[in-house]
Amino acid sequence: MIEALVVSNLVLWVAVLALLGTVFALARQIGILYERIAPMGALMLDSGPKVGDAAPAFDLVTLDGEHFATGGPRTKSLLLFFLSPTCPVCKKLLPILRRIAVDEKRWLDLAFASDGDRDEHEAFRIRAELQQFPYLLSPDLGMAYRIGKLPYAVLLDEDGHVRAKGLVNSREQLESLFTARELGVASVQEFLGKPMDLEPDMEGRQA
């Protein structure tokens, strides 16, 4: 009877140790998987003005007939969102952008940019409830930023410099532009790829 109890305890301890080993292995695999699927930021194409460069300066007229400058010093940062009325991903992001404009209004202005038929864009702006935002039609602006695919966003700081940019297909990619600005890097990918090199610089800026 005693021998059976000892054997059962040994078997139980072996099972517990095996379970602990399994949990440890799973935790390690979860950590590896998290690193592999770390949130991807906006896809920054290697064309157009680079992060840190002065933004191309244009004095444009909005659909409302108001002058709007896209370069030079500003009182707030500016998020330029390039879109098209026929782009389904652009339409999906519009409610998110309207929410961001409200949540970040203390430091951020939002403007939309495109080109094409004015009447089509005016009708689209009404359907999308974008009347409160500057809406620019300028092929030259898109060419200056080398916009080849949509939706594309460019974040300019108060000094009129490009702070972040890239293709954006989700809220996470939009917010990655703000994260890159806060971290002082060109993109979230750069931060994820060089965490050790970044720490001294971040400390220096915070000081």
- Residues 52 and 207: their CA atoms lie apart, in Å, by 21
Q: Give per-residue pLDDT as tens, 149-197.
A: 999 999 999 999 999 999 999 999 999 999 988 887 776 655 555 543 4
Q: Which of 92, 81, 65 is nearest to 145 (CA)?
A: 81
Return the pLDDT at 48.
85
Tokens of 26: 């799973």
The answer to whether domain 59-206 has CATH 3.30.1490.20 is no
Question: Averaged over 119-148, what is the pLDDT?
Answer: 96
Return the pLDDT at 47.
76
Return the pLDDT at 18.
72
SS (H, E, C) 55-121: CCCCEEEECCCCEEECCCCCCCEEEEEECCCCCHHHHHHHHHHHHHHHHCCCCEEEEEEECCCHHHH
Return the pLDDT at 182.
86
Q: Is the peptide bond before 56 cis (omega within 30 degrees of 0)?
A: no
Return the pLDDT at 194.
52
Tokens of 66: 């108001």
The answer to whether residue 65 scores a pLDDT higher than 60 is yes
Q: Which of 117, 129, 62, 47 is nearest to 84 (CA)?
A: 117
Return the pLDDT at 205.
35
10 Å CB burial of residue 118 (0-12, 13-18, 19+) is exposed
SS (H, E, C) 119-169: HHHHHHHHHCCCCCCCEEECHHHHHHCCCCCCCEEEEECCCCEEEEEEECC
- % of the chain surpassing 90 pLDDT: 62
- Ranking 81-85, 102-106, 157-161, 194-198 by mean pLDDT, the lowest is 194-198
Question: Averaged over 51-69, what is the pLDDT?
Answer: 95
- Residues 110 and 172: their CA atoms lie apart, in Å, by 17
Return the pLDDT at 156.
97
Q: Give per-residue pLDDT as tens, 4-59.
A: 666 666 767 777 677 776 766 665 555 443 333 344 556 656 578 999 999 999 99
Average pLDDT of the residues of the chain: 82
Return the pLDDT at 11.
65
- Residues 159 and 75: their CA atoms lie apart, in Å, by 9
- Residues 145 and 155: their CA atoms lie apart, in Å, by 12
What is the bridge-based pairing of β-strands 108-114 and 77-82?
parallel
Tokens of 36: 């592999």
Residues 6+ apart with CB under 8 A from 35: none
Question: Averaged over 140-155, what is the pLDDT?
Answer: 94
- Residues 165 and 56: their CA atoms lie apart, in Å, by 14
What are the residue boundaries of the structural domains of the chain, listed by start? Answer: 1-37, 59-206
